[in-house]
Amino acid sequence: MAETVLTNPGQSTAQLEGWRGIAADWASDQRAFKNVSWGKAMMWIFLLSDTFIFSCFLLSYMTARMSTTVPWPNPSEVFALNIGGNHIPLILIAIMTFVLISSSGTMAMAVNFGYRRDRVRTAILMLITAAFGATFVGMQAFEWTKLIMEGVRPWGNPWGAAQFGSSFFMITGFHGTHVTIGVIFLIAIARKVWRGDFDVERRGFFTSRKGYYEIVEITGLYWHFVDLVWVFIFAFFYLW
């Protein structure tokens, strides 16, 4: 493996080729995080830790479902709605998924306009994203109310395995909390963008240097993560 040592006395670390070069860059922080801000790096670290938590929840749910000897409730029946005399399975969950996935599109456009320094469109799109998120939380509250009225509890339910209730409230409640926090965060940042805090460098929480809208992208990272997690919840909890 070829190795070239820098002659510049200010650079003492050797430049290596191949896999050794990649390992050296990551180990010494020469390239990987050189141009990444602390805010963005910390958000990625937070999302990584949150990924482990959601993974543990979903793995625990799958373990409980596969190990129980009592029949597991049929999601198509449990989460069905009667509309106009018709029994429609998973209709509410489908609408919730459509709303949340649509919010990823408006968030992506907000980030795009943020880096163009178009504060009006950025703020409007962030508020639209927050409205989508609030709609999702509202429908989730309706879903919780419906199931509680039908007798679902963390310790049991009228349709079969008792673990269903605890799994449902734990996973959807934890995700719903994330969405709620995201909505609050979106509204707060949208307000700052609308007022022009990032253009006049007004001091305050989450206000970065003048003309720099990176906080919009950081908010977008969190929101896209929340949407992605819902895709896995939808697939494993509602469709399985």
**Six-digit token pair at 98?**
């459509």
| Residue 133 · residue 179 · CB < 8 Å | yes
pLDDT tens digits, one per residue of 174-206: 999 999 999 999 999 999 899 888 777 666 656
Tens digits of pLDDT across the chain (240 residues): 444 444 444 444 445 677 777 666 666 555 555 666 778 888 999 999 999 999 999 999 999 999 988 888 988 889 999 888 888 999 999 999 999 999 999 999 999 999 888 989 999 999 999 999 999 999 999 999 999 999 999 888 888 888 999 999 999 999 999 999 999 999 999 998 998 887 776 666 566 555 567 889 999 999 999 999 999 999 999 988
CA atoms within 13 A on the CB side of 30: 13
Q: How far from chain centre, in Å, is Cα 127?
A: 17
E strand residue ranges, the chain: 3-4, 15-16, 81-83, 86-88
Residue 154's alpha-carbon distances to 74, 158, 161, 198, in angstroms, are: 17, 12, 11, 45
Q: Which residues contact 181 (CB under 8 A, 6 or more apart)?
A: none
Place of tokens 């993974």: 55
Taking only Cα atoms into account, the Rg of the chain, rounded to an integer number of angstroms, comes to: 23
Query: In whole angstroms, what is the distance from residue 196 CA to residue 199 CA?
Result: 5
By C-alpha distance, which of 232, 223, 230 is closest to 104? 223
The β-bridge relationship of strands 81-83 and 86-88 is antiparallel
| Residue 223 · residue 104 · CB < 8 Å | yes
- The pTM (predicted TM-score) of the whole model is 0.82
DSSP state of 71: P
pLDDT tens digits, one per residue of 20-51: 776 666 665 555 556 667 788 889 999 999 99
DSSP state of 4: E
**Mind listing the domains of the chain with CATH numbers?**
1-35 (no CATH), 37-238 (1.20.120.80)
By C-alpha distance, which of 188, 160, 165, 152 is closest to 237? 165
Chain length of the chain: 240
